[in-house]
Amino acid sequence: MSRSLRPLEWFNLAKRHGWAKFLLHDDFYDDDGEASQPEEDVDQPYLYPAPNLRQVQQSPDALLGYSITRWQLDDELRAAWLRLPAEEVLACLSDRFDSTRNLSVRSVVLQVAALIGTEGAPVTRRAWQASPDYRLLRSLAEATAACLPLDEGFKLVVDALDAMPERERRQLFGALSHFRSTMALDWIETHASEPSVDAWGYLAAASGFSWSKADAWFKAGRPLSLIAIDALLAIARPRTPFLRRIRPALGNPPSERALRNAIETLMQTDPVPRVKQRAAALLELAPALISGHAQGGSGGH
């Protein structure tokens, strides 16, 4: 209660319950278990360090506990998982998924399943059979896209989204990004609504967005015209960790002249401040968009 756990004590709780639990989360501890706002002195924390990656990387069970305590699975941690035998990883993940209903823990299990690809299909299907909580959809979609056949997996996620109330669906539709499939563009066309948010453009950018689709959406008007310009911006200047990792490119890019003409036409037909501001930014980024050399961007989790 005094937020003064030593690193190993924090680790032993966080690996069971997840680091996001109240009194364990990142307001009070970093992901090495060092207390940042203790109300009492931490008693000799240096004598009780949390394990590091080198100490846990030989065992799937130990590595899973460590992964659950981390804020994200970084490249080094992902590489450690890929060095382990897939069948041992799957057995570990299946056991842990079945033994808990903790959403934070199940989320990490599914993120790791995504790393081992089709070998992770059994635990992914088990997750769907368990009537998953919608709050698990992002990690479940990641595992589904990596582990299951595209048509099967995409339908599972779309059906889950369509069954949600509108409020939850607007927060979670970005989960379709993991498929990186043009099928998501068709879904956008039938589900997008105003007010448009950046996440629609991020999803389109990750889903094989092409110039022919952008041009068609420009001509279709709102909300698709707004999503198209956001998608082009997201390709030219990716702002999320996911987009920076996958580095999307514009399919069948036009000439720079054709791109500029289309953007200027949009600015004339829909001269609201939001369009003008983003169109002006896109005009500056036009060379990078055409060449496929995206600029770095900043963004949150």
pLDDT at 102 exceeding the cut of 80? yes
pLDDT at 225 over 50: yes
- Domain presence at residue 8: no
Q: Average pLDDT over the chain, rounded to whole?
A: 94
Q: Are residues 76 and 172 in the same domain?
A: yes
What is the pLDDT at residue 298? 43
Domain end residue (candidates: 154, 179, 204): 179
103 and 93 in a common domain: yes
In a domain, 152, yes or no: yes
**109-140 tens-digit pLDDT:** 999 999 999 999 999 999 999 987 999 999 99
Q: Does 42 reside within a domain? A: no
Query: Which two three-digit tokens encode residue 186?
Result: 């068709």
Query: Structure tokens of 284?
Result: 């500056």
pLDDT digits (tens, 9 = 90+) for 235-280: 999 999 999 999 999 999 999 999 999 999 999 999 999 999 999 9
Are residue 122 and residue 157 in the same domain, yes or no?
yes
Does residue 149 have a pLDDT over 80?
Answer: yes
- 174-223: pLDDT as tens digits: 999 999 999 999 999 999 988 889 999 999 999 999 999 999 999 999 99
40 in Cβ contact with 5 (< 8 Å):
no
150 plus 199 within the same structural domain? no
Residue 146: inside a domain, yes or no? yes
In a domain, 28, yes or no: no
Domain tally for the chain?
2
Q: For 79-96, what is each residue's pLDDT tens digit?
A: 999 999 999 999 999 999
- Does residue 163 sit in the same domain as residue 204? no
3-state secondary structure of 92: helix
Three-state DSSP class for residue 169: helix
Residue 40, pLDDT > 90, answer: yes
Domain boundary among 127, 161, 179: 179
- Give the model's pLDDT for residue 288: 86
In the chain, % of residues over pLDDT 70: 97
- The torsion angle over the Cα atoms of residues 48, 50, 56 and 57, rounded to 10 degrees, is -140
pLDDT of residue 301: 29
CA 45 to CA 30: how far, in whole Å?
Answer: 13
Shared domain for 64 and 159, answered yes or no, is yes
Same domain, 140 and 186: no
Residue 103 included in any domain: yes
Do 141 and 222 reside in the same domain of the chain?
no
Whether 197 and 141 map to the same domain: the answer is no
Q: Could you list the residue range(s) of the whole structural domain that residue 204 is in?
A: 181-301
Task: Tell me, yes or no, whether 137 lies in a domain.
Answer: yes
168/205 same-domain check:
no
Are the C-beta atoms of 173 and 199 separated by less than 8 Å? yes
- Supply 262's token pair: 């289309």
**Final residue before a domain boundary, out of 179, 214, 234:** 179
- 222 and 118 both lie in a single domain: no
Per-residue pLDDT, 300: 36
Q: Look at residue 6 and tell me if it is in a domain.
A: no
Instruction: Identify whether residues 261 and 227 lie together within a single domain.
Output: yes
pLDDT > 90 in the chain, percent: 92
Specify whether the CB–CB gap between 116 and 86 falls below 8 A.
Answer: yes
Residue 52's CB: how many other CB atoms inside 10 A? 10
Q: Which residue has the tokens 């979609």?
A: 141
Q: In this model, does residue 293 exceed pLDDT 60?
A: yes
Q: What is the dihedral angle through the alpha carbons of 67, 70, 75, 78, rounded to the nearest 10 degrees?
A: 10
**According to the model, what pLDDT value does residue 241 have?**
92
